Amino acid sequence: MQFVILSIILLITFLFLRWLKRLTATSTALPPGPNGYPIIGNLLDMPSVTPWKTFTDWSKVYGDVVYLNLASQPTVILNSAKSAFDLLEKRSDIYSDRPTSTVVEMIFWDWNIGLMPYSPKWRNHRREFHQYFNQREVPKFQPIQLRESRAFLRRALNSNNDNDLGQHVRHIFTAIILKIAYDMDITDIHDEYVRLAEEAVLGLSVVMLPGAHWVEYFPFLKHLPEWFPGFLVKRTTNYYRPIVETMRNKPFDKIQQDIHDGKATPSLTTSLIERMQRRSGSSVLSPTDEELARNVSGISYAAAADTTTSAAQSFMIAMSLYPDIQRKAQEELHRVVGPDRLPDFDDHDDLVYIQAIALEAMRWMVVLPLGVYHRVMSDDIYNGFLIPKGSTVIANAWAMLHDPVDYPEPTVFKPERYIKDGKLDPSVRNPLTLAFGFGRRICPGRYLATGSLFMTIASVLHTFTIQPTVNEDGKVFDPFSSVVSGIVSSPDYVPCIMTPRSDKARQLIQESSI
């Protein structure tokens, strides 16, 4: 009881001092935003479900740039592409930092390159990652992408359980990155490594929603016991932490042991370790080098396995709801590829409608609706308003990708919006410029992700017809009713049935191989 009373006293004191400091420090006008409460500010205003939609509604009242005070932690929401590019791109020298996160540390995701503060350590990690996944290097992974896309076709052909479709989709991208990162072959949708990637990223997605956990703003709360009333975050992070640790360490440790035993095969991780060994002249990695290699390998595995999966699942759902679009895509595939083979990467430039479907899949159900938060490193003035040093800056990608000016009828899946005169229309804003982040923190794995998504879409539509499942009342399932609401937004269920388009398509699938 004494511990609880002391914690409450400390909390009240901490809140008051932070509120007083912020109250007396601001002289220039802050951007407009909802009125908060003394001391705790807007914490009680923060939505726990689909916050991006609430932020978008706020923009209609307060403008594109909305200011929140989350227990004296200044937070700025950017709801337009213009404000995001003006600040996160054009002023990236001061907007490339990441906020320090207590829950990220508690769940053991602080090794994640995408969440690291802007620092020499982050630059070293980014440099190593970029070396393997830049635009020039990614084409060498195309045989793996083709192999796994076609393996998915065979699994879908042999599966009679549509409840497994979402897992089959996840299998594609987890298998691609595990082969690249660790030279591991995954043949079962229930493989341990598929499950680890899914659960680890789910844990991060759940705990990182803005305003969801007060420990983020009052770090000393992490010392409260797990049983403390209302302190769900500690139980959540304690559950996911060992999963994250296993996901990061288990495959890397296996590669290290294989190298030691002289039986390692080529992979990203093997290359990283051996190059560092040559550089240091020692077979034993220094702690710094080992951490770097372990982190780069781990984040390539985790990030690629989840975000691309979400986009592919959205594509499946869209095709089941828009049969005319599916038919147009199949007509293009018949014209370009023909009935006697499967599509490959050489067909990319001629499959304009397939490219447009991939773009729309990234826009329609936004994978990272709030992106990954930035932190401004010095006071800044934008449109006459102060953005204080240390502010968390959230780019509401959902609002930008559903802007009716850039994308008329934004809730409609409409690939035609990107096409003019048979080519991709450069006058339409490319959703990839918004979906993968901004400035120096743009996702370095985007080239691998878009290539994998394109090949999966082309392969599936060439061989299968996708139809919706129906509920007990005979109505088509609402795909937006089961979207998981977290930092990563994805369908909880893929209510679709895939059937081969013809006997010839079935034969192509059965004979497919690389």
Q: How many residues does the chain have?
A: 514
Within 8 A by CB and 6+ apart from 156, the residues are 165, 168, 460, 464, 498
Q: 249: closest CA among 108, 374, 444?
A: 108
Task: Return the H-helix or E-strand segment holding 310.
Answer: helix 287-321
Backbone conformation region of residue 470, classed left if phi is above 0, alpha if psi is from -120 to 50, else beta:
beta
Q: 253: closest CA among 203, 204, 298, 206?
A: 298
Binding residues: 443
Residue 389 and residue 120: Cα distance in Å, rounded? 20
- Structure-derived torsion over alpha carbons of residues 173, 176, 177, 180, reported in degrees to the nearest 10: -170
3-state DSSP assignment of residue 136: coil
- Planar angle of CA 364, 365, 371, nearest 5 degrees: 110
Strands 496-500 and 419-420: unpaired
Which tokens go with 370?
A: 């709030």
CB 485 within 8 A of CB 209: yes
- Structure-derived torsion over alpha carbons of residues 368, 370, 373, 379, reported in degrees to the nearest 10: 150
Binding residues for heme: 443
Task: Return the H-helix or E-strand segment holding 280.
Answer: helix 268-280
Cβ neighbours, 10 Å, residue 55: 23
> Phi, psi at residue 392, to the nearest 5°?
-80, 130
